[in-house]
Structure 1
Amino acid sequence: MHSSPLLKGVPLMGGTFEIEEENGQKISPEEVSKMLTDYIIQGQVMTLVMGLVDPSDDNWNGPLYVSTHIYAIDYMTGSQLINALTNWNGQLAFDLMSLPVHIPDPNPNSDSSTSETPSQTTQARSILESCLQQSFGFKLAHGVILRIFKVTLGSLWREHDGSDIVPGTCAH
């Protein structure tokens, strides 16, 4: 799909990712970019159409149409925030969301021995609060992205059935 003349000018996705298959075969960053672009092509096409201005007979004005007919939320913040905050480290996201929800002591002068320190617990709470305040959900990656990152939060929740609904955890 990435090489279709209809998609001329659409940038390739990816970057410097290289995939090493289980059999040792390596897929170059250039090929990975093409593969990722084909995987997410619907988003690329929507972006292209939303930015298109065609002064021909149909007088299509994508930016005007979008600004008057579509309420759009930033995709990365809206659905991938946990991945952005954990640098796409699925194991870290899983570990943090598996921790109990930490409720800070409302009295900073108390003699509590569990004072808040920069730790995984406070990182988990910060991520949890950010996701609840800024995003509309988690897009749990199970597809081609697993060939790049090997594990994601979604793949680990799938592997550890029920771990996303343990009462009292950040995931719950």
Structure 2
Amino acid sequence: MKPPAEPLNPEPTVENREAQDAAPRERPPAGMALIPNEKLDLRSDEEIAAWLQTRHPVTSEKNIWAFWHSGYANMPQWVQRNIINWVHRLGLEWNVHVVDHVPDSETNIYHYVDRSFFPIAFNDYTMDGPYAGQHQADLIRLPLLWKYGGIWMDTGTILFRHVNDMGWKLIEDPNSQYEVAGFAVQTHPGRHTMLNGFIATRASNPFIRRWHDIYVALWGEATNSHNFHKHPLLRHTPLPPQPADDMLIPYLRLSQESMASYVAHIAAFERLRKIVDPSDGFNGPEYYAKHMFLTQSMKEMFYLSVVTAWSGTRQFELLSAKRSGEGAVKDETWQTAEELINYTMANSSTMKLSHGAGGFESMLADIWDKEENSQADIVPGTFAAYMTYGSAHFDQTRELEPIKLELVTEDVQHIGVLEPVEM
């Protein structure tokens, strides 16, 4: 294994600083404020893109981890720009790492995490099935967090507030009870489970390591997740329910069995949070209720999707509308876009863009992936360009309130983390 490459100079050039200071700045919507230039990373997009493709040392727990199986250069352009904007808005305080699973790549996951953390199919590059890319990401997110600490973010996560204010300050605070932060979906009235697209934690977290151990055990010698719901570690758990708050409506076209295969990583989480391990005293229900800072995903991740009935076509229409300049017409579409985009930026922590599954093809991420729409997120004067700018230059002023989590008492198993439930 090669030693970590030295990072490119993280300091912006004098020219970049002068250009940023001189550039006209958009006005933020109500509930947001401009981020001062001194808090931004003012390197050019080109400098940051080159830096992201160069392995840089892990120097603290303030790491943002992301993954694209075929490497940064093969990401859709809007995804590349989105990650560049993470770097701009988080400044020099946080280190963004984009890892891949490309043999001999400078940023291959094996430069960070040993092969022993992964199943045979991952190490042999033989994973298959419709969700192979997502499940590669599922396999690497927890080892990175357990070994180094920081925040895992799916690459389609557009930021509208600083990650410090999304639970991280509390995780760092020795007087706080919180050790993990993220977003949750309501699966039944009053009952929530954590999603895995945003996970914040310090290194060596006991829940994170056990969660990964369960998920790896599901794989064994398998090459895909088909029938994982029948595995001895999960067979006692029910198939995914119809979500109580319309989570992932597009994916409801999938059968329950296919959905169970798709969300096997979350099923492993569900198993762990209902386990009390008599061998070492680990108490999943207590850990979940006491140590997790979770907020509502429908408001904090998927607001624009919810209010547009999960129609990427409608979202594309609103974001492509001209907000200002030549061609801007303040008609009904303009009014709707102005209201929804401003509200989303000021009142949602993120905007999570996902790709369709089960034949659902009108997700915004799929539309922006198309070659003819490769610049749609930055067309001058559009609401999309305004939102893209805001994701790097605006920050929210509101406080983020966590969900009050109940202590799980139903279906709790007093077994080892990797011990099957007797049926």
Report SS of the residue matched to 1:73. Answer: strand
Moved more, 155-164 or 35-44: 35-44
Contact kept, 8 Å, 1:83 with 1:89, in 2: the verdict is yes
Q: Are 2:240 and 1:12 equivalent residues in the alignment?
A: yes
Partner of 1:75: 297
- Counterpart of 1:12, as a letter, is P
Alignment partners' CA distance in 2, 1:92 and 1:60: 46
Query: Residue 266 of structure 2 aligns to which amino acid in structure 1?
Result: G
Q: Does the 8 Å contact 1:82/1:127 carry over to 2?
A: yes
How many angstroms apart in 1 are the aligned matches of 2:383 and 2:250?
Answer: 32
What is the distance in 1 between the residues matched to 2:264 and 2:357? 18
Unaligned runs of 5+ in 1: 20-28, 103-113
Question: Residue in 2 aligned with 1:110?
Answer: none
Distance 1:167 1:46, change over 3 A: farther
Corresponding position of 2:230: 3
Deviations 1:62-116, CA, capped at 9 Å, x for gaps: 34313443322323332222211111111001111111337xxxxxxxxxxx8x7
Written as runs of structure 1 = structure 2, the 5 A alignment for 1:27-106 is 32-50=255-273, 52-54=274-276, 56-101=278-323
Hey, what does 1:22 align to over in structure 2? Answer: none
Aligned pairs for 1:119-158 (under 5 A) are: 119-142=332-355, 145-158=356-369
Which one is further off, 39-48 or 83-92?
Answer: 39-48
Aligned 8 A contact 1:2 1:12 in 2: no
How far off is 1:135 after superposition?
2.2
Q: What letter is aligned with 1:124?
A: A
Q: CA separation in 2, counterparts of 1:34 and 1:123?
A: 38
Q: Which amino acid aligns with 1:147?
A: G
Once residues 336 and 312 of structure 2 are traced to their aligned partners in structure 1, the CA distance between those partners, rounded to angstroms, is 15
Query: Pairwise CA RMSD of aligned residues?
Result: 3.1
Q: Secondary structure at the match of 1:60?
A: coil
Q: Percent identity?
A: 23
TM superposition shift of 1:14: 5.8
Match of 1:171 in 2: 384
Q: Whose strand fraction is larger, Structure 1's or Structure 2's?
A: 2
Secondary structure in structure 1 of the residue aligned to 2:353: coil
Paired with 2:242 and 2:338, the residues of 1 have a C-alpha distance of 30
CA distance in 2: counterparts of 1:18 and 1:126, whole angstroms: 24
Whether the 8 Å CA contact 1:18–1:32 is kept in 2: the answer is no
Report the TM-score when normalising by structure 2: 0.30
Give the alignment's TM-score, normalised by structure 1: 0.67
SS across alignment from 1:6: coil
Find the aligned partners of 1:134 and 1:47 in 2 and give their Cα distance: 28
Aligned partners of 2:277 and 2:262: how far apart in 1?
A: 31
Instruction: Give how far 1:57 is off.
Output: 4.1
Q: Any conservation in 2 of the 1:80–1:138 contact (CA below 8 Å)?
A: yes
Q: 1:71 aligns to what SS in structure 2?
A: strand
> 2: distance between equivalents of 1:62 and 1:122?
47
Opposite residue 379 of structure 2, the aligned amino acid is V
The alignment of Structure 1 onto Structure 2 pairs a total of residues equal to 145
